[in-house]
Amino acid sequence: MRLSHRLNTVLLQWIGLITVITGTVWLLALPGIRRTLFDERLLLASSVAHGFDTSLSTALQALGRLEAGLPDAPDAIAARLHASRFQSLFSESMYLGDAQGQLIAADRAGVQPLPASRLGYHEAVTSLVRKPGHEDAPVLAAIQPFKRNGRDMYLVAEMRVTGSALTTSLQGLAPGPTMQIMLVDDDGVVVAAWDPALLKSAS
């Protein structure tokens, strides 16, 4: 056998050996890499969820402070709502209603209040709400129930899902092409997403 053939044979053997070693190392390391990637994404999801939870809690606290200082006259209430609405995460509309879902005062002309069945007895942020006749514009609502002069009252602030501050926040994260970030409600409906196409089920 000529020397050049022997060198080629040895070189091919070494290449094969290196390929086998590299493949073996990669296969052994792959579960750890996947686990690290999963842990990183879980940490990101946890951080985003904590940020949203803080923002929603802050919005509810702001409603509570607003309710405590509301005047009695409907016109004065509407003026106070107007001054507060654009400072809120829920800036689509803000209104005061009674236990039957009837409006007392509102900031945004023509707003349709939530059905009385969605009001509840505790402060909360609703899951996605599609109002009759406005199914193409679903909202999330922050609700602050309280009593005044023996009457059950509700202070409500709404946020449209499309173009919401929640979606804008997710888009600012700019995840890679292999990762999607979205916020879903209790029914599993997407209410905020990095990719606007994912919001089609909510719009």
Banded model confidence at residue 22, pLDDT cuts 50, 70, 90: low
Question: What mean pLDDT do residues 74-86 have?
Answer: 90
Q: Among 2.60.120.340, 3.30.450.20, 3.20.20.100, 1.10.540.10, what is the CATH number of 56-160?
A: 3.30.450.20
Question: What mean pLDDT do residues 188-201 have?
Answer: 73
Residue 93, φ and ψ in degrees, nearest 5: -160, 160
At 144 the pLDDT is: 92
Banded model confidence at residue 107, pLDDT cuts 50, 70, 90: very high
Q: Which of 163, 8, 171 is nearest to 92 (CA)?
A: 163
Q: Residue 10 pLDDT more than 70?
A: no
| pLDDT above 90: percentage of residues in the chain | 15
Q: Residue 123 pLDDT more than 80?
A: yes
**What is the biggest distance separating any 2 CA atoms in the chain, rounded to whole angstroms?**
106
Which residues, listed in sequence order, are joined to residue 159 by a DSSP beta bridge? 140
Q: Residue 174 pLDDT more than 80?
A: no
At 34 the pLDDT is: 60
Q: What separation, in Å, do the N-terminal and C-terminal C-alpha atoms of the chain show?
A: 75
Domain boundaries, the chain: 56-160
Lateral strand order in the sheet of 103-107? 103-107, 93-98, 151-160, 139-148, 124-125
At 24 the pLDDT is: 61
Banded model confidence at residue 28, pLDDT cuts 50, 70, 90: low
Banded model confidence at residue 16, pLDDT cuts 50, 70, 90: low
At 172 the pLDDT is: 72
At 5 the pLDDT is: 53
Residue 140, φ and ψ in degrees, nearest 5: -105, 145
At 20 the pLDDT is: 58
Question: What mean pLDDT do residues 175-194 have?
Answer: 76
Question: What mean pLDDT do residues 27-42 have?
Answer: 63
Q: Residue 122 pLDDT more than 70?
A: yes
pTM score: 0.72
> Pairing state of beta strands 139-148 and 151-160?
antiparallel
